[in-house]
Chain A
Amino acid sequence: MPITERRLIFKNIDQPGYAIDIDCYLRHDGYKDLKKALTMKGPDIVAEVKTSGLRGRGGAGFPCGVKWGFIDPTKNTKPVYLICNADESEPGTFKDRQIIYKDPHQMLEGMIIACYANNVHLAYIYIRGEFTLGAKILEKAIAEAKAKNYLGKNICGTGYDLEIYVHRGAGAYICGEETGLIESLEGKRAYPRIKPPYFPAVLGLYMCPTIVNNVETLCNIKHIVAMGGAAYAKIGKPNNTGTRLLCVSGDVEKPGYYEFEVGALTIGQLLNDVCGGIKDGRKLKALIPGGSSAKVMKAGDRYKIKTKKPDGTMEEKEMGLEDIPLDFDTLAAAGSMAGSGGVIVMDETRDMAECLANISTFYAHESCGQCTPCREGSLWMKKITSRIANGKGHPDDVGLLKNVADNIAGRTICAFGEACAWPVQSFVEKFKNEFEAHALGTAKKSTEQKLEAV
């Protein structure tokens, strides 16, 4: 069976003649779903989202309906805020950018529906600082929507008011962590907050209940309203519903962004049937399935995957890397994660020590420096990995590196600790021989590239 894309969110993106202005969007049935949503009651929309089983597309895969359910507008005396997290910064991820740059009104429509559903009257789009054009596009889209009364006062004559503001990020990866984002939006350093007590649903923006959703997640809201939660839940697999935007980069013939039903294709199908195979006919060596912080998976490894059968019993299947379907639960069961959908492919010519040094350099640069293990550990790991990659490692380095990562993961304020430790733990575990050979100085250099010494 040939693998075909299921374009829900990317339906219009890259289609000839499709432009970002509101008139074009309206010609393509734009804001129709908003009008439908405005005829519904907020709690009913929340219920539909719960039924849909939509899981957050930012990285953690937390069920969106459950997140919304934490906020009870009837019990709240404070205003509820919604923030669209458009701080897409995870290396290997470039899906939200496509939506913002090529179909901004789709995102706005989803966001307005989400705000309406949760009785939000003031919302923010926190957009990555580097997306300067994207911020302008969104500003223009907001102005257009306001002019047509899809936003602002008395939306479509329903009496519902909503203002959306674009806030440009401060140029740091940590601004994408939801509580760091909130701090940044409040005008402070993006230091993630401690949880407890600062859960966004309780003590979020300005200490008010706050919903933070990813761009892709909010686009899905529009489609859930269009087709109904139950119909949406039929797309994909149980507990892994809807479509997923996949960003493929690295050593494949056709890197790029694709949209599939969640779990509808395996890693092998993605690489070979969709992306035209590994570059220059070489062999797959390793793959990171969900952005650089996801644990690396090794080609040739056998994965024991436990799945729940429809009758509730557990079943264990053994499969190779290429047979693993790309969905939340299977990737988690395989010891990695679907994360942000950034699939990074490494072929047989790649030096794993160099790849890891590259990732560790990124995380050392992006650690916010607030809490001790991440602040000190991320730079230390960069120093060790770089030295190993440069052939200047010590025999003890592999064990040391693993231990440093172990001392970070699970001990930090935010998930950055895992984000920087997981690649190190997994690379060292899966490619131990390679790292040891490097550390002992017996590795053959695969490329001429040298990393900058630190």
Chain B
Amino acid sequence: MNPFNHDVTAPDAPLLNVQVDGEWMQFPKGLNVIEVARRVGKFVPHYCYHPKLSIPGNCRMCLIELGTPKLDANRKPVLDAGNKPEIAWMPRPQIGCATQISEGMGIRTQSPLVEECRKGVMEFLLINHPLDCPICDQAGECKLQEYSVQYGSEGSRFTDDKVKKPKRVDIGERIVLDDERCIMCSRCIRFSKEMVKDDVLGFIDRGSHTTLAVHPGKRLDNNYSLNTVDICPVGALTSKDFRFQMRVWFLKETKSVCTGCATGCNTLIGSRENLVYRQTPRENEAVNSHWMCDQGRLGFHYIHAPERLLEPVSKVGHGKLPTPWTELIPRLAAQLRELPAGKIAIVASGRMTNEEAFLLSQIRKILGGDAVLSDIVPRKGEADGILRSADLNPNARGLELFGLSNGGQTLGQIRHGIDTGRIEALIVLHENLLGDAGWPLSTVQNVKLLVVQSILACPTSELADYILPGASFAEKRGSMINGNGRLQRLNKAISIPGQALDDWQILLQLKAALGGGNGLHTIEEVFKAMTEATPALSGLSLSRIGDLGVDLKNLPATAAK
């Protein structure tokens, strides 16, 4: 996917001897100085360099001292007392990003010259910078701020007028550009061109007046545009969605997974006081590298929508009444128990977690097993060859694993059953039958006992006999299996609003009320029970999934078409 991978070397790359700050070490061939330093816990500051983009070498922040083995008259390395090559240091500093290591190379990441270079570059970068940190969204995660503190000098020697450039430039649907903050690192230009093949950004004018701009008649509107905000080291590019919403240092960051499609890009959910403010990609080379699409990134706002279902509701006569869980669940269970298996069906969702799917499959077993028809609502999009999958359900594989999904092929049968009056009860989870499933009103109205477990009120929930308010992806811990069979973990960023409950707890209570025994109290216990019952997951635990997920080796082949 990435056009460049400067931080990854071939597994069979030979090891080279390199001296880093006086110490001889071995590194695989193909790495540059920044990556070598990173591997030994040394940091070479940089702005323009990005491991996944081409190397322009323009910021000059990564200047280091470099040396090559001193050669004797026969062009053989001269060895020192310790039998190591003596190093001939170059008089001039070199950039670390574009310098690939070679045998016997010497690198100084810390020296008076290197410090002086960094100080000089920092000063140059700041003289025409507006220094408007107090009103800049990047403040708190700004490389200019951070390196200024670490490598810059106190005060300014610049007494002249700064160069004036355009402010608040609307360059795209989701992006605003402040040209005065831009340090011309060209990361955004290279990302758009190399990664998304959408060459819309470039520089105009010259020298200190160099200005980032979109090409005439073009806009930065591609579905990956917000990644430029992430990789912008300063506050030049900001997200219209996030700007001025929250200072980043107040955000709690929770590691999670995007639920926008079957790719399952790893994310950080930025939240404060039970409100999610943003989602940003979290690096995972096995899934999404450093990136995520705009659609997925911004697809979280519904969790704070006014339509959010906040209390359990049951139909009483012709009206609806909020009903405590303790009252609702047994009533629902009693009604379900009265029905023979063939009269009940389930419409589950590819947006449910594995744990929820596992519990639902157990409920199904109690209600009659395979006689209870079950399927999910498929969501098809178009794969874009970058990250977006054609399957827009994040966990269709998981639902398949628990026998709840037939890729949407059983939906017609369920609908027919309802239309003909054979099926009387329908349990719908996180789906709007009148929306995504495209069912007609008459079918849904034909259901005698309609149970809807959902997050948002929708036309289907309006018709429900029981409304079970569940939790959004940001409010729960659990796991999902992405389109490539990788098990990944969601973590709870914010608490569940109102009396809504975590979906697994609703299902667990229903299962208990149906007489399916219990003994499970925590999500970890549910996971354990699930792994014991599911060979493909055996040996795993929620914590063992880790932050980056695991590939499931024994996953049955997907039935998805």
Contacts and interface: CB of A to CB of B under 8 A. Distances in A.
Interface of A: 172, 189, 191, 194, 196-197, 364-373, 375-380, 383-384, 387, 394, 396, 400, 406-407, 410-413, 454
Contact of B125 (A370, A372, A413): A372
Contact of B203 (A189, A378, A406): A189
Nearest to A383: B160
Interface stretch (B115-123, B134-142, B219-227, B268-276): B115-123
A364 B121 contact: no
B127 A376 contact: yes
B58 A407 contact: no
B326 interface: no
Contact of B120 (A364, A387, A407): A407
A170 to B, nearest CB: 11
A371 B60 contact: yes
A411 B58 contact: no
B232 interface: no
Given A189-B203, A194-B98, A410-B93, A373 B208 contact: no
B207 A407 contact: no
Contacts of A189: 202-203
B207 A373 contact: no
Contacts of B205: 369
Contacts of A407: 116-117, 120-121, 123-124
Contacts of A406: 120
Contacts of B128: 376, 379
Given A407-B124, A413-B58, A367 B207 contact: yes
Interface string B36-71: 000000000000000000011111110100000000
A412 B60 contact: yes
Given A189-B203, A196-B98, A375 B208 contact: yes
Size category of the binding interface on chain B: 35 or more
Contacts of A384: 160
B244 interface: no
B127 A370 contact: no
Given A369-B206, A372-B61, 6 more contacts: A366-B206, A367-B207, A369-B210, A372-B121, A380-B160, A413-B58
Contacts of B25: none
Contacts of A370: 56, 58, 184, 210
Nearest to B57: A194
B160 A372 contact: no
16 contacts: A189-B203, A196-B99, A364-B207, A367-B206, A370-B56, A371-B58, A372-B183, A373-B60, A375-B208, A377-B124, A378-B207, A380-B158, A410-B92, A410-B93, A411-B60, A411-B121
A242 B206 CA distance: 38
Nearest to B157: A400
Nearest to B204: A189
B59 A371 contact: yes
Interface string B155-190: 001111001000000000000000000011000000
A375 B123 contact: no
B208 A194 contact: no
A376 B124 CA distance: 5
B60 A372 contact: yes
Contacts of B127: 376, 380
Contacts of A375: 124, 184, 207-208, 210
A395 to B, nearest CB: 12
Contacts of B163: 379
B208 A378 contact: yes
Contacts of A197: 98
B57 A371 contact: yes
A34 to B, nearest CB: 40
A267 to B, nearest CB: 29
Contact of A411 (B55, B117, B202): B117
Contacts, number: 99
Contact of B58 (A365, A372, A400): A372
B208 A369 contact: yes
B209 interface: yes
Contacts of B487: none
Nearest to B121: A372
A383 B184 CA distance: 21
Contacts of A373: 60, 120-121, 124
Report the 3 A-B pairs with minimum CB-CB distance, sorted nearest first: A369-B210, A407-B120, A376-B124
Contacts of A411: 60, 63, 92-93, 117, 120-121
Interface in B88-145: 92-93, 95, 98-99, 116-117, 120-121, 123-125, 127-128
A377 B95 CA distance: 18
For B99, B120, B158, B183, the residue with the greatest tally of chain A CB atoms inside 10 Å of its CB is: B120
Contact of B95 (A191, A194, A368): A194
A380 B159 CA distance: 10
Nearest to B91: A410
A341 B203 CA distance: 34
Nearest to A407: B120
A368 B125 contact: no
Nearest to A365: B207
Contacts of B203: 189, 369
A383 B157 CA distance: 13
B57 A369 contact: no
Contact of A172 (B120, B124, B157, B206): B206
A322 to B, nearest CB: 32
Contacts of B116: 407
A400 B206 CA distance: 24
B207 A369 contact: yes
Contacts of A368: 206-207
A372 B59 contact: yes
B453 to A, nearest CB: 56
| Most chain A CB inside 10 Å of its own CB: which residue of B117, B157, B202 | B157
Contacts of B117: 407, 411
A372 to B, nearest CB: 5
Contacts of A191: 56
Nearest to A379: B208
Contacts of A194: 55-57, 95, 98
B124 A367 contact: no
A368 B202 CA distance: 14
Interface string B69-96: 0000000000000000000000011010
A172 B120 CA distance: 26
A412 B120 CA distance: 12
B45 to A, nearest CB: 12
A396 B159 CA distance: 11
B135 to A, nearest CB: 23
A78 to B, nearest CB: 20
Contacts of A396: 157
A380 B98 CA distance: 27
Nearest to A369: B210
Contacts of B160: 380, 383-384, 387, 454
A388 to B, nearest CB: 12
Contacts of B98: 194, 196-197
A27 to B, nearest CB: 46
A380 B121 CA distance: 13
Nearest to A374: B207
Nearest to A367: B207
A108 B260 CA distance: 63
A410 B127 CA distance: 20
A117 B55 CA distance: 34
A420 B125 CA distance: 18
A176 B163 CA distance: 26
A378 B99 CA distance: 26
A207 to B, nearest CB: 13
A383 B161 CA distance: 9
A364 B92 CA distance: 23
Nearest to B185: A372
Nearest to A406: B120
A400 B92 CA distance: 21
Contacts of A367: 206-208
B450 to A, nearest CB: 63
